[in-house]
Amino acid sequence: MIGAGLSNMAAAVYLIQEGHWRGDNITFYGADMHGANDGGTTEEFSDEYWNKEHPLDNQTGYVARGGRMLNYRTYVDLMDLLDRIPSATEEGMTAAEDTRDFDSHHQTYDKARLLQGGKGIIDGGKLGLNNKDRTLLSKLVLMPDDEETKLDNVTIAEYFKDDPHMFQTNFWYMWETTFAFRIESSVQELRRYMHQMIYEFTQIEHLVGVNRTRYNQFESMILPLINYLKGEEVKFISNRIVTDWEFADSSMQDEITVTGIHVKNVEDDTEELVDIDDETAVIFTNGSITDSATMGDYNTPARENMEYGISAALWKKATERFYNLGTPDKFFADRKNSEWVSFTLTTKNHLLLNEITRITTQVPGNALNSFLSTTPITPLGQKDINMSIVVHHQPHFTSQKPNESVIWGYFLYPRRTGEFVHKQYIKMTGKEMAQELIGQLSKVDPGPNNIKEKEPAILDSIINNIPVYMPYASALFNNRAKTDRPEVIPAHSTNLAFTGEFAEQPYQMIFTEQSAARSGEIAAFHFAGVPMDHLVDTPRYDKDPKTLLKATKRMFS
């Protein structure tokens, strides 16, 4: 296993349970043992992430570089996986039962999905689509699967080039920030989301289809997997980066057989060649959205790491040898369309949490709130999203103290300039991001009790606010052709499989734990000789007439 993220851990579980492989025959190599599904105290993140240009002596508080929203209706493979392993925090429950139990008592109902200065809570139930918007959306949804290649290398902006109004609708603001699309993203990927999430048309303003884990994604999803796999004697070798391949020479030039991998020890820079024999499969997660990520702190911005992603670099070396393994540069050489900045804010009391609750009129754990700009800030001249925040149900970490709150947020366009802190988001310290958040909240909080009056007390309550720069956070949405991602099992491969969100799977939408888990399942079934018709059945809501009818009616709201 090259890479220790969700997809390869899923592959290991299925190899053990469905393929009846012994756990001690499975070895993970990875720079870390969680992939993109991370979360923990600042002390749990290695030195490589921090801004070395400034000594960080205030490494306290929590960090989750990203956040996960689940959906039981669509994430069927993920829930099957989590049902196979015990919860790490709830005795007597599987990880899936744990999540379903928590979600049943804390159901999502967002009453303040969109917020705008001078207007307060925007009525997201009014999607704002006109007939041209509806026509183009309908064409996208109704396009047959075998015609999807017509959308090769077409951006969302290009698809709607004669319809700029689309990007001024409440529908777009909500869809954009729920799933993290940009107008420069692949319309082919947008089509897949429209197909698998078509039922969200009827509920996107309240996010009632969103399900959440009890704690952060590491403790609720990855830690149960690690515990289970270690119990099965699976080997985890961390602080290792696979830097190159050895492939067999073959009379068939397109036959792919791995015979060795070059493994670098991050701690001492030594390297070894690990031989791969004829009985060994290599399962490779060929890209990570958190590669090259960096962190700052309350007084320090995250530095910009210009290194090409380590997993993509290994993928690129394979493509230099074989023609059918995709195009890594489509995803990892276009930072301007893939970068994010997120932040994780930890407070020592609930003052900020209570203020957000008052302003949005909803309890923590129910929302993804996005703040609309009041002034035109995009090339198309329309208002757009400044920032989005998620106020988790507390506690979000098992070690969190009762008096502490944790809030997560992100800037989808990190090169834009703040309205209250006049610098690019990417250059802001954690304190400045907190000030920008307070400013955005103040715009939708008119009256004598404005949150701005409490700013000194709120800033004083902050234990830390960790900015995180992720150059590849949206890389999986970058504009591409269908062949730019390799198949999970490439043609003519004898022992190499690709997993994760940069592997091509029919009909699957990426940037989800669903596609990650399914890619691991496919790889495991292939190498274990389990028939593919045993895969978890993927629902096709785009083929359901009732769902399509409801979505069509909703487009006229």
Average pLDDT of span 173-195? 91
Catalytic residues, by residue number, are 193
> Which tokens in the block code for residue 363?
């309890």
CB 51 within 8 A of CB 203: no
Q: Which of 213, 307, 285, 309 is nearest to 502 (CA)?
A: 285
| Residue range of the domain that includes 299 | 6-51+70-100+214-333+476-534
- 275 lies in some domain: yes
Query: Is 295 among the domain residues?
Result: yes
Q: Residue 366 pLDDT more than 70?
A: no
Kindly report, residue by residue over 133-162, the tens digit of the pLDDT: 999 999 998 898 899 999 999 999 999 999
Specify the long-range contacts of residues 43-48, CB closer than 8 Å, at least 24 apart: 45/295, 48/266
Q: Quick check: is 349 in a domain?
A: no
Query: Is pLDDT of 379 > 60?
Result: no
Confidence tier at 55 by pLDDT (50, 70, 90): low
Contact 360, 111 (CB under 8 A): yes
% pLDDT > 90, the chain:
70
Q: Poorest-confidence range of 368-382, 422-436, 453-467?
A: 368-382
Residue 220 lies inside a defined structural domain of this protein: yes
Which of 410, 106, 345 shows the shortest CA–CA distance to 355? 345
Whether residue 94 is contained in a domain is answered as: yes
SS3 sequence of 172-229:
HHHHHHHHCCCCCCEHHHHHHHHHHCHHHHHCCCCCCCCECCCCCHHHHHHHHHHHHH
Of the pLDDT bands very low, low, confident and very high (cuts 50, 70, 90), residue 208 is confident
Tell me which of 100-114, 354-368, 436-450 is least confident: 354-368
Residue 189 lies in a domain: no
| CB contact set of 410 (below 8 Å; sequence gap of 6+) | 66, 340, 341, 342, 343, 387, 388
Say which residues have a Cβ less than 8 Å from residue 398's Cβ, sequence separation at least 6: 89, 215, 219
230 belongs to a structural domain: yes
Number of structural domains found in the chain: 1
Question: Quick one: DSSP state of residue 139?
Answer: H
Looking at residue 52, what is its pLDDT? 59
Per-residue model confidence (pLDDT) at position 51: 64
CATH number of the domain where residue 249 is located: 3.50.50.60
195-199, 408-412, 496-500: which range is least confident on average?
A: 195-199
| Contact indicator for 468, 67 with CB cutoff of 8 Å | no
In a domain, 264, yes or no: yes
Does residue 57 register a pLDDT over 60?
A: no
pLDDT range class, residue 375, cuts 50, 70, 90 = low
- Hey, what are 491's tokens? 């043609």
